[in-house]
Structure 1
Amino acid sequence: MQVSFVGLIVCAGILLIGYYWRAPLIIGVIASLAFGATAFMTLSSVGGSSPLIYTLFAALLVTAVATRRWIWQDLGDVFGKIRPLWILCGLLIYAVAGAWLFPRLFAGQTSVFVQSTMRRGIVEASLAPVSGNITQTGYFVLGGLTAIALCVLLLHEDRIDAVRRGFFLWCGLHAGMGLLDLIGKLAGAGDILWPIRTASYAMLTETVEAGFWRITGANSEASAFGGISLACLAFCYVYWRKTKSRLAQALSALLLVLLLLSTSSTAYVGLTILSIPVAFSILHSFLSGRTDKDEILIIALLAVAGASVLAISLYDDEFFAPFVQLIDSMVLNKAQSASGQERAYWNIKSLQAFIDTGGLGVGLGSSRASSWPIAVASQLGLVGGLMVATLSFMVFRGMGSLKRYVDPETNAVVSSVRASVLASVVSGSLTGGSSDPGMMFFIALAVISASRARARSERYTVTRALPLGQPAFEAQH
């Protein structure tokens, strides 16, 4: 085991900020997600795995909750009021059992893609137990335990302000380091963030695509930066629309610019997909005559951008040639590239592994795919996939009709968190290699589930206080 002092220094800095805001662990576990290539140690005994700093904060959070004086009473209350946690526990047990059993039960009966232990890269091999069964299952279980711990903290106390601060710190750190990375490369200084890249990943941080520097921020590659940028942009945009926050508006603008300059196909395709509901929302407001000034601003900016592009094209028809080449290589012809064909083959083999194992799966961490839903099917099988789908539904429905029983700030934060994890799932569906949905998914599950439980309690209180026959919604106005 080798400790990274740089990683520990970064952790200390985040803890100090969280302590100043009186929620060091909640803020820390969210904000630390901005450091996608910063590990606090390297475990040579487990294939050289290097846990990122968010795992340290998650472990501290789980430990702090587990050592509470009335922890068993708290857990009983949480599991009684938040039923999705029973499904989560079932999924964790199934994932642990499958990671140990399935690679041994179906050993040699199918082929999978795994990380090579002899050289860097992904290789095709017969199914067998690998170190990924331990490490990826560990991350998955830690995420589930973090969700349970957060539910304990969020159910009985109003900590939504800590969640909001944590998400804004996450977005601000991600955007700031992305901007620093771009400025350093344009200035000829190269990768100025290399001191914080302490993880044992392959760092693709100084690459050029069609004449453009690829932005990686604090991550190991542009694709990861693009995926996180989508999630951050979704959070800031929804919070801005809900609350008119100038901070959220400024971060949305900066994240959009960085995302467009990132040269990430994940970012471009994901942004296109996420723009569809935004466009329908603005169109609905326009047709119903309820267009607000923010929507008018968006339409005006799009019109100005379109007119500027047209004018520049008429003046110099070769001006946008590099941009056209970039879009052509990163989006339009991505599937025909060697990388695109290789990733498509990973998905084909993953689906074949699902069939070869009779729908049981090869076990968490046993294979590598290039799409999160396909990875879920191949690793967790039909049973695990149904549990993941159920939890995903719980997350994506958000507050639903219960939003009337929470204050506007809570509704804004929960809606923004929901949008962020939806964007994260979109990017994961494009490039995700593991069935683990990521720590952001588990955080969102806890925030939404706890908020719904608090809203149900409020609804019960309001309903009991009403005179006989009076509708509940009248008491809210």
Structure 2
Amino acid sequence: MEFLPIALYWGIALTGLVSRRPILLWLFFAALPFGSMVVIPANMTAGLSLVPQTMTAMLIVLRELVLRRGGTQFLLTLSRHGSGQALVLFWVTGVVVTLFAPRLFAGQIDVVPMAVTGFMQTAPLSVTKQNISQLAYITVSVFAIFAFARSFRNEANLWVLIRGVMLAGVITIVTGLLDFAATYVPLAPLLDMFRTAQYAILDSVTLADGAKRVTGLMPEASSFGGLSLTLLSLLWFLRRAMTSARMVRRANVILAGLALMLALSTSSAGYVGIAVLLAMIGLEWAARAGRFQSARLTRRGIRREIIMALAALGALAGVLMTTPQLLDPVIARLNEMVFTKTDSLSYLERSMWTRTSFEAGLSSYMIGVGLGSTRASNFAAALFGSVGLVGFVLYFGFVLRRLTRPVTAADPVAQAVALALKWSFAPPFVVALLVGTTPDFGTVEALRWGVLLALVLMVPSQAAAPHRPMPSRIGPQAGGATGTKALPRT
């Protein structure tokens, strides 16, 4: 039965690969909640679990940068300028360090291997198959940025982005509800069709009070909570770009469902991410109220939203004043999952992972020990330990440039999308700083950076006309004999 989802996936994927329609983009969003499913049987990939999200990103790279006319020229031109150059240098650094560092420092540095063997155990650095797999994952993520940048130069695809996030949210909610219902209804055989990855799938974990941690079709509750938080953050701010009241209402329903899924996941990192999201919402309200944002669409409805928020807070305060015991279960759950987390064995182990990974980066003279050589519980520490100081600076320099680079597109939807992608960055990033085990930033972040890069490449005269397709390549049609003069600074 597990071959049915695989056959369905490849039927859609191969159609999208040859179609002019953005089928692969839709498939990418639909695939996000299926983090425990493989699309190629593991016995054909030497045990490597290729999930739909990663495979679809690979197919988008193949289609946009290899099969479509001008794709290679687009990649070469963009990689010689600004942020694209920094991104390619980051990837080259990762390749060089991964090929040589595990051999150069073999046996000299203690690391926590990606394939954990025991509680709080370290091992001498050595060459492992995880070096190749992690290098492959980060290669897909890096080149997916360029592929997404080319895809979203077509402004009509911005609506695919907005509706795609909504689609991913709906599927996340449905899979979460099915997983929750499986406690009471025999749905396990149906869900097991999609749980075919070779790594550990923790789908039956319960809390001390017997409550099930909802995982949906992700490997564990923390990854399901992280996905729910990421989609929740994106969709909250993407509402500013929606010009249809009906679409906004649908988005609000999906937001409520995602918030419920995040709560049911009981992910402590997800709860921290919610606090960060609330802080970003407050800052965004202040920016909109103070007219610090130039996008016209983002300034709509700010007064109504603040009044509704104050009214909701007032109503909540009134209810708690009359029946304060209603808050007791919430406080108990937060105390168990967040405030006393530092006393748990899991926290102690993860802290040791992060410390060991950071020390490995220092012990390697800040060169790094290679992708896939060390496990951490902090994305920044994993990145530093894996690719060293040079790779660390190159990646975060690219990120900083994308977050601070203004978008010159005249289209208000493009401006609103750019601001949404920037405002929604912090919550999942903070979660990655708490639980990120690998230096791979992932294909969802690749989507974020690719779209922001695409919006910079939209010159004002092109973006002013809504839904007019952008040129498919950087070349003579985009300006000049070589086309490179038309490329804006990135």
The alignment's TM-score, normalised by the length of structure 1, stands at 0.85
Please report how far the alpha carbon of residue 325 of structure 1 lies from its aligned counterpart in structure 2 after TM superposition.
2.8
User: 1:172-206: per-residue Cα shift (whole Å, max 9, x none)?
Assistant: 21222223322333557568623211111211112
* 1:50–1:200 Cα contact (<8 Å) kept: yes
Aligned mates of 1:48, 1:295 — CA distance in 2: 51
Q: Secondary structure at the match of 1:292?
A: helix
Q: 1:421, 1:286 → 2: CA distance? A: 21
CA spacing shift, 1:303–1:366, aligned 2, 3 Å: same
Does 2:158 match 1:154? Answer: no
Please tell me whether residue 440 in structure 1 is matched to residue 439 in structure 2: no
Partner of 1:9: 8
Q: Is the 8 A contact 2:284 2:423 kept in 1?
A: no
Cα distance in 2 for residues equivalent to 1:238 and 1:247: 14
Q: Is the 1:421–1:440 Cα contact (8 Å) retained in structure 2?
A: no
Which one of the candidate residues 365, 387, 394 is aligned to 1:387?
A: 394
Are 1:422 and 2:429 matched, yes or no?
no
Alpha-carbon distance change, 358 to 348 in structure 1, aligned in 2, over 3 angstroms: same
After TM superposition, the structure 1 = structure 2 runs for residues 286-435 of structure 1, keeping only pairs within 5 Å, are: 291-313=302-324, 317=325, 320-397=327-404, 400=406, 402-403=407-408, 405-435=409-439
Instruction: Write out aligned runs for 1:90-109 (5 A).
Output: 90-109=89-108
Distance 1:457 1:77, change over 3 A: farther
- Residue in structure 2 matching 1:142, options 136, 140, 143: 140
Offset, 1:126: 0.6
Question: Letter of the aligned partner of 2:457 in structure 1?
Answer: A
AA of the residue aligned to 1:433 = T
Asked whether 1:271 is paired with 2:274, we answer yes
CA distance in 1, matches of 2:182, 2:19: 30
8 Å CA contact 2:273–2:428 kept in 1: the answer is: no
1:60 Cα deviation after fit: 1.8
Q: Which structure is richer in relative contact order (CA contacts within 8 A, separation 6 or more)?
A: 2
> Could you say which residue in structure 1 is the equivalent of 2:233?
234
CA drift of 1:215 comes to 1.4
1:469 aligns with none
Does 192-201 or 148-157 show the bigger shift? 148-157
Residues 1:168 and 1:11: Cα distance change in structure 2 (over 3 Å): farther
Alignment partners' CA distance in 2, 1:52 and 1:217: 15
Deviation at 1:324, TM superposition (A): 2.9
Structure 2 Cα separation of the partners of residues 5 and 192 of structure 1? 11
Distance 1:191 1:266 in 2: 30
Q: Tell me the alpha carbon deviations over residues 376-406 of structure 1, each in whole angstroms, 9 at most, x when there is no partner.
A: 1111110000011112113323x62x35x33
TM-score, scaled to structure 2? 0.83
2:84 paired residue number? 85
How many Å separate the matches in 2 of 1:302 and 1:210? 31
Alignment partner of 1:259 out of 258, 262, 277: 262
Percent pairwise identity? 26
Query: Conserved in 2, the CA contact under 8 Å of 1:239 and 1:412?
Result: yes
Which amino acid in 1 is paired with 2:396? Answer: A
For the pair 1:22 / 2:21, whether they are aligned, the reply is yes
In structure 1, which of residues 449, 453, 457 is the aligned counterpart of residue 453 of structure 2? 449
| CA pair 21-188 structure 1, distance change in 2 beyond 3 A | farther
- Describe the shift of the 1:295–1:242 C-alpha distance in structure 2 as closer, same or farther (beyond 3 A): farther
Q: Which runs of 5+ in 2 are unaligned?
A: 292-298, 466-490
* Alignment match, 2:111: 112
Give how far 1:247 is off. Answer: 2.0
Task: Name 1:63's counterpart in structure 2.
Answer: 62
SS of the residue corresponding to residue 208 of structure 1 reads coil
Aligned residue number for residue 206 of structure 1: 204
1:54-105: per-residue Cα shift (whole Å, max 9, x none)? 222122222222022333444455446x631111111111111211111111
Shift of 1:337: 0.4
Decide whether aligned partners of structure 1 residues 76 and 189 sit closer, same or farther in structure 2, where only a CA change above 3 A counts.
closer
CA contact (8 A) 2:16 2:24 kept: no
SS at match of 1:196: coil
Q: Take 1:166 and 1:21, find their aligned partners in 2: how far apart are those partners? A: 17
Report if the CA contact (8 A) 1:111-1:126 is conserved: yes
CA distance, structure 2, for counterparts of residue 299 and residue 236 of structure 1: 21
Aligned to 1:40: 39
Q: CA deviation at 1:14?
A: 7.5
CA 259–460 in structure 1, closer or farther in 2 if over 3 Å, else same: closer
Measured at CA, do residues 207 and 71 of structure 1 come closer, stay the same or move farther in structure 2, by a change above 3 Å?
closer
Residue type of the alignment partner of 1:372: F
Q: 8 Å contact 2:172–2:228 — kept in the other structure?
A: yes
For the aligned residue pairs, the C-alpha RMSD in angstroms reads 3.2
Closer, same or farther in 2 for the Cα pair 1:28/1:18, shift >3 Å? farther
Shift in Å at residue 40 of structure 1? 1.0
Does the aligned pair in 1 maintain the 2:373–2:386 contact within 8 Å? Answer: yes
Find the aligned partners of 2:135 and 2:188 in 1 and give their Cα distance. Answer: 36
Q: Is the 8 A contact 1:4 1:198 kept in 2?
A: no
Query: 2: distance between equivalents of 1:141 and 1:5?
Result: 29
Distance across 2 between alignment mates of 1:287 and 1:148: 35
The answer to whether the 8 Å contact 1:347/1:374 transfers is yes
The answer for the alignment partner of 2:474 in structure 1 is none
